[in-house]
Amino acid sequence: MLGCLTAAVTLGLAGAVASAQTPPPPPASAPPEPRFTFSGLVFGDYYYFSQDHDEAWQGQEGFWLRRIFFTFDYTFSPKISTRLRLEMNSNGKLAGTTITPYVKDAWLRWSFSRRQQLTLGLQPSISMDYIESVWELRHIEKTPLDLYKVDHTRDTGISVEGPLNSAQTISYRAQFGNDSGSNSETDRYKDLKLSMRYAAPTGFTVEGVYAYFAHEAHANRTLLQAFVAYRAKQARAGLQYAFQQRHAPDGTAGSDLRLDIYSGFAVANLKPGKFSVFARVDRYNDPCPDCASIDYLPIDTSAPFTMVLAGVEYYLHPSVRFSPNVEWVAYGAPTAPGAAAPKDDIVWRATFYWAW
C-alpha cells in the first residue's frame, strides 16, 4: 500500500515538473488586416435661390447630387500603398447633363526613412488639403482657394512630405506638378508648391504655403497663404489669408492682378456626433476674375464681395447627416465708375450626406 502511494506521489510530482517545463501554447494570431478597402460618399442638396444677380438663377430650386465618390485603397506592403478614386457630380450650371464619372485620385505612395512619404500620380494639392481636413464640411461648401478657383484641388505630379522633428510637431510638404487639375497635361509649364506646418499637442496649428505657377507668355502666378487653426472635441475654428499675384501675358494691354482673400470659420459640436452649428465668412477684396464659372454658386465678377455661410448639422448616424444652411453673397461697389452694384445672392439649402 505504501509503495502504491509513493509511486502515485512520484508520478504526480513528475507530471507537475513536466507541465512547468512545457511552454504554454502560443496565443492565437490576429487575423491579417485586409489588403484592400472600398469606400464612398454622396452629398447634395435641395436648393432654392431666393435672390441672385443672374436672372437665370433667380427662383431656381430643385435637387442635385453635388458629389459622389467611390474609392479603392490597396496596400502592397506596410510601406507601399495606392488609391484609385472616381468622382461623379451633377452639372452645376443648370445645364441638365447626365452624371459622368472621372478619375479624381490615382496615386502610389511609398513610406520611407523616419516616416517620410513620397507620392506619385494624381493627388490632392497641398494648398488646400490640410485646410479641408480642419474645415471638415466639404459637403456644405468648398474651401476658399477651391471655391474661387485660385488653385486646383488635385494635380498630377510628385510630392514628398513628413515630420522634421522627433515630436512630429513640425512637418513639411513639397509638390511638383502639371498645374492641370484632374486633366491631362496640355503644355510644358509646371507648378511648385511648398508648405510648412506646426501642430501643437494642445490643438493649435499654423501653416504657411508658397506656390509658383509658370504660364505661357510669362503670365506666371504666385500664391502665398497663412492658416491658423484650433481644434478640440467640442469646437474648432480657423483663420485664413491668401494672396495671389497674377502677371499679365507679354504683349497684352492687361494689367497685373493682386487678389486678397480673407476667411474665418467656427464649428461648435453642441452634442458631439449628434448636433453641431457652423458659420463662415469669406471676404474677397477684389472682383473675382473666375467666379462666374463656379459650379452651384456663380458669383458676379464686377465687384468685391463678402460671402456668409451658416447652418446646423444633425447626425442621423455617424455617417449620415442632414444640414439646413444658407449662403449669402453681399456685393460691394463695382470697380467700374458709375456701374450699379449687383443684386446679392441668397441660396437656401437642405444638404444631405452619407458615407461608407
- Backbone phi and psi for residue 273, each to the nearest 5 degrees, phi listed first: 80, 0
- Reported as a single tens digit per residue, the pLDDT across 16-62 is 444 445 566 666 666 666 799 999 999 999 999 999 999 999 999 99
Res. 170: pLDDT tops 90:
yes
| 284: its cell numbers | 474677397
| 4: its cell numbers | 502504491
Give the pLDDT of residue 9: 41
Q: Is there a contact between 195 and 172 (Cβ–Cβ < 8 Å)?
A: yes
Q: What pTM was computed for the model?
A: 0.89
Give the pLDDT of residue 96: 84
- Reported as a single tens digit per residue, the pLDDT across 255-273 is 899 999 999 999 999 999 9
Instruction: Name the range with the highest mean pLDDT among 6-10, 207-211, 248-252.
Output: 207-211
- 72 vs 254, which has greater pLDDT? 72
Spell out the residues 6+ positions from residue 133 whose beta carbon is closer than 8 angstroms to its own.
none
Confidence of residue 90 (pLDDT cuts 50, 70, 90): very high
For a pLDDT cut of 90, what percent of the chain falls above it?
Answer: 85
E strands along 137-203, which residues? Answer: 154-163, 170-177, 191-199
Spell out the residues 6+ positions from residue 71 whose beta carbon is closer than 8 angstroms to its own.
38, 39, 40, 83, 84, 85, 86, 105
SS3 18: helix
Question: Residue 144: enclosing H or E segment and its boundaries?
Answer: helix 144-147
- Reported as a single tens digit per residue, the pLDDT across 72-83 is 999 999 999 999
Domains of the chain: 50-64+118-355 (2.40.160.10)
**Alpha carbons 303 and 309: distance in angstroms, whole number:** 19
